[in-house]
């Protein structure tokens, strides 16, 4: 098991550009009421830095670890626009894999997703009634796969699984805040809460790829089985 101190020493320097880009976003705090290509670039800059974070581990690492490749692809899609987040969640769920299945965890996540949708449902109308429902199902599924393999004690504990679970939960908080503020009622400090949890979520999910779950040979064997 890799100690947290070792992780910070090895991965911390690679994340410095991400932290700097995140600080730039919050320091500039460009008004969302007047969007421009500059504000879009600054908003996406921390995600671009997470691309570089994964690329810093080498193309060979990405090419030989399917789950890391999918997380990298998810980060790419998440920078392309709001509609691409559904693709991002599918890629992340695929990266986290279906082992262990953890049906009880899935049931808990399904109940929580249902409660979130029930909270939003009364505020939705038209196509959003169905689109939000589909999105809630996708992000709930991604959250299930992220926390399914999480073990907090014992020899099987891995910090990357904790990072994946933390990232997924923060992503859910960020998106739920977006939905509440857009469809239901103003959320105090919504933008700060949305962006801080979003950037933290993407960072944790990117970190989860470092100690990737399956090298390509193991991945092919699991598919064959």
pLDDT in tens, 22-54: 999 999 998 877 788 999 999 999 999 999 999
**d(Cα 201, Cα 45) in Å, to the nearest integer?**
15
Average pLDDT over residues 157-164: 89
pLDDT of the residue at 8: 77
pTM to 2 decimal places:
0.91
18 burial via Cβ count (<10 Å: 0-12, 13-18, 19+): buried
In a domain, 223, yes or no: no
pLDDT of the residue at 138: 97
Q: Are 85 and 205 in contact (CB under 8 A)?
A: no
Average pLDDT over residues 67-87: 92
Average pLDDT, the chain: 90
3-state secondary structure of 32: coil
Tokens for 213? Answer: 């779950």
Domain that holds residue 198: 4-212
Average pLDDT over residues 162-168: 96
In a domain, 163, yes or no: yes
In a domain, 54, yes or no: yes
| Counted domains in the chain | 1
pLDDT of the residue at 214: 55
Average pLDDT over residues 168-174: 98
pLDDT of the residue at 131: 96
In a domain, 222, yes or no: no
In a domain, 68, yes or no: yes
For the cut 70, the answer to whether the pLDDT of residue 159 exceeds it is yes
In a domain, 220, yes or no: no
For the cut 50, the answer to whether the pLDDT of residue 100 exceeds it is yes
pLDDT of the residue at 34: 78
In a domain, 58, yes or no: yes
**d(Cα 8, Cα 37) in Å, to the nearest integer?**
34
Of 43, 18, 23, the C-alpha closest to 31 is 43
Task: For the chain, give the percent of residues with pLDDT over 70.
Answer: 91
In a domain, 225, yes or no: no
pLDDT of the residue at 3: 67
Average pLDDT over residues 115-137: 97
**Greater pLDDT, 210 or 223:** 210
Least confident range of 13-17, 73-77, 95-99, 208-212: 208-212
3-state secondary structure of 178: helix
């Amino acid at each position: 098991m890799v100690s947290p101190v070792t992780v910070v020493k090895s991965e911390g320097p690679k994340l410095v550009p991400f932290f700097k880009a995140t600080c730039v976003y919050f320091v500039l705090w460009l008004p969302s009421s007047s969007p421009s290509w500059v504000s879009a670039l600054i908003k996406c800059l921390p995600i671009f830095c997470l691309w570089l974070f994964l690329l810093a581990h080498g193309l060979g690492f990405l090419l030989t670890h399917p789950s890391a490749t999918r997380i990298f692809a998810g980060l790419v899609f998440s920078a392309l626009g709001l509609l691409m987040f559904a693709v991002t969640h599918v890629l992340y769920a695929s990266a986290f894999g279906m082992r262990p299945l953890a049906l009880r965890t899935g049931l808990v996540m399904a109940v929580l997703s249902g409660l979130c949708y029930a909270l939003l449902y009364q505020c939705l109308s038209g196509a959003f009634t169905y689109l939000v429902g589909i999105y809630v199902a996708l992000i709930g599924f991604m959250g299930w796969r992220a926390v399914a393999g999480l073990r907090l004690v014992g020899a099987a504990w891995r910090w990357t699984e904790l990072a994946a679970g933390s990232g997924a939960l923060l992503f859910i908080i960020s998106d739920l805040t977006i939905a509440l503020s857009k469809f239901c009622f103003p959320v105090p400090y919504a933008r700060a809460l949305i962006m801080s949890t979003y950037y933290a979520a993407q960072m944790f999910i990117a970190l989860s790829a470092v100690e990737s779950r399956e090298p390509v040979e193991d991945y092919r064997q699991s598919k064959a089985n």
